[in-house]
Amino acid sequence: MDYDADPNPFYLKGSRTGVLLLHGFTSTPQSIAYVGRAIHDATGATLSVPLLAGHGETPEALEQTGYKDWLASAEAALEMLLGDCDRIIVAGLSLGGTIALNLAIRFADQVDQVITINGSTGLYRPEQVAGLFCDKSNRFQRGIGSDICHPDRHEICYDKIPYATMRERFVLTCATGAMLPNLKQPILIFQSRTDHVVAPENGLRIMRDVGSSDVTLYWLENSFHVATLDYDRDLIVQKTSEFIGALTREI
């Protein structure tokens, strides 16, 4: 089966260590399936890759959702994973990384480690903010997906995005960024040096602002935003598997 072409959520049973892996804004589990399955194979961890509300359908369906719905999708997946696992790692790409940070802070007693891949923390240029809140003439904007350096890999994502939903994303990323000092767990940060969707400064902000004493940042030199489908995806698998292995050895 070509996992790079499958947009469906999936759950792989394994050990009592669980990994919740979250896809990005307007995307699907397809964007993280390769990395997720490779991490499961390398570590034996139980893996949950859910579909966030409003995703994998139509832009109009996404328009009917907001950040509370996306958080609820992730929280439901976390609750299910807790039923099978004693140790939990939350991880995510882009907005999925934002949600991983958010969950780790709000459910600190249930989450042991955090991993972000080009996660957004609310660093926007003034003109981006103005476009979100001042331009009322258009219902949709052009899609922002499939920012990939590799010429033969593509992300399944929406080709247009509701402005209302972009504003929901703005609220969630900014609120989560303000919460970073409350994150105390070990955290592994991946940040693409060249990212046309989320400014690379977000990775530096996470490293600087979290309250954890165990912080590692890896710069991805050969990938754009969707690094889990790009040239560095095997590096992400390797470093993530080592990170999870360190947790297992400590137990």
CA-to-CA distance for 180 and 131, rounded, in angstroms? 26
213 to 91, 98, 186, 208: CA distances (angstroms): 18, 20, 7, 11
Which of 27, 94, 192, 241 is an active site residue? 94
Contact 142, 125 (CB under 8 A): no
Q: Is 146 tagged catalytic?
A: no
Q: Is 48 tagged catalytic?
A: no
Q: Is 94 tagged catalytic?
A: yes
Which of 195, 223, 232, 241 is an active site residue? 195
Which of 192, 225, 232, 241 is an active site residue? 225
Neighbours of 109 (CB within 10 A): 5
69 to 13, 53, 62, 162: CA distances (angstroms): 26, 6, 10, 15
238 burial via Cβ count (<10 Å: 0-12, 13-18, 19+): middle
User: How many C-alpha atoms does 209 have within 13 Å on its Cβ side?
Assistant: 17
Q: CA angle, corner 192, sides to 14 and 4, nearest 5?
A: 45
Q: End-to-end CA distance of the chain, in Å?
A: 35
- The catalytic site residues sit at 94, 195, 225
